[in-house]
Structure 1
Amino acid sequence: MVVRTPAPSGTRDQAGPWLRRLGLLAAGLVAGAVLCAGAMIALTWPTQQTLYTDRQPATVAYDDESSHVVAFIRYHSLLEDTYRLYAGRDPSLQYGHFIDVGFAGAADQPVISTQWTREGVRVRFGTGHELFIPAAAFVGGR
């Protein structure tokens, strides 16, 4: 018969808690790295890329006496690319009149010409599509 005697209470294996702490530290470092990488990605997306810009010619004037611009903009995010046509007087393209552009080929064959008239601006795409933006939609700061 073999008799086993329990170890004295003060002589527990000291490697167990140390390894547990090291494992928690490693898991925390990995989680921190993943969160940091995610934050960096989130800060850089979505991106905005102006594919085409045209300024109102001096021969065309509107009632607000401002200089206007039309632009075709690509918005790239983690999930998709979207496209918008902008018309307005803000050169930063942040405030004005926007139209979502969703027809096929808009990215591959973007704007080929614009025609400014007193009534508005006509935008022609390489796909054959045309969009007309009435002056009332972008004149006066809209």
Structure 2
Amino acid sequence: MLLTAAVLTALWWPRSEVVYRSTAPSSVAYGEDGPHHMGVVHEWTPSGRHSYRMVTGRYPAPSYGHWVDLDTTVAREGVETATWTESGLRLRFRTGHEVFVPARFFLGGR
């Protein structure tokens, strides 16, 4: 029983890597200290599950901030551009799809 639990845990335990990063340019100020950052995180398990998330916030490491789940078939093709404006962040993928996150969702912590 313990061996079965260990094998299942190993097969479902996610691994992750940051596949894209962007930092707001100094010309875009949100009225808070320091720049804002965004990372696209790819998570996968040895059993074959894949997911992508966009994390935007004040910290360079994409472990805390505003999370947006991304469609796997779109995100795996890669990011074309990240455009920061005072109203928010627009991420354009190589597939032509876009995601816009209004600034109010990633300001003030989360």
Aligned counterpart for 1:86 among listed residues 52, 55, 58: 55
Q: 1:116 to 1:79 in 2, by over 3 A?
A: same
Q: Between the two proteins, what is the percent identity of the paired residues? A: 34
Give 1:79 deviation, angstroms: 4.3
Provide runs of 4+ in structure 1 moved above 4 Å.
none
Structure 2 gaps of 5+ residues are: none
Structure 1 residue runs of 5 or longer lacking an equivalent are 1-30
**Quick one: which of 25, 38, 42 aligns to 2:7?**
38
- Given candidates 22, 27, 38, the residue that maps to 1:59 is 27
Q: Which amino acid aligns with 2:85?
A: T
Normalized per residue, which structure has more strand? 2
Q: Secondary structure at 1:66's aligned position in 2?
A: coil
Q: Tell me the equivalent position of 2:90.
A: 122
Over the residues paired in the alignment, what is the CA RMSD in angstroms? 2.3
Corresponding residue of 2:78: 110
Structure with bigger helix share is 1
Return closer, same or farther for 1:103/1:46 CA change in 2, 3 Å cut-off: closer
Offset of residue 67 of structure 1 = 1.4
Residue-pair matches, total: 109
Q: Scaled by the length of structure 2, what TM-score is found?
A: 0.84
Question: Aligned partners of 2:75 and 2:87: how far apart in 1?
Answer: 24
Q: Does structure 1 conserve the Cα–Cα contact (< 8 Å) formed by 2:50 and 2:72?
A: no
Q: Is the 8 A contact 1:53 1:72 kept in 2?
A: yes
Larger radius of gyration: 1
Larger RCO: 1 or 2 (CA < 8 Å, sep 6+): 2
Match for residue 12 of structure 1? none
Are the counterparts in 1 of residues 42 and 52 from structure 2 also a CA contact under 8 Å? yes
Alignment-mate amino acid for residue 138 of structure 1: F
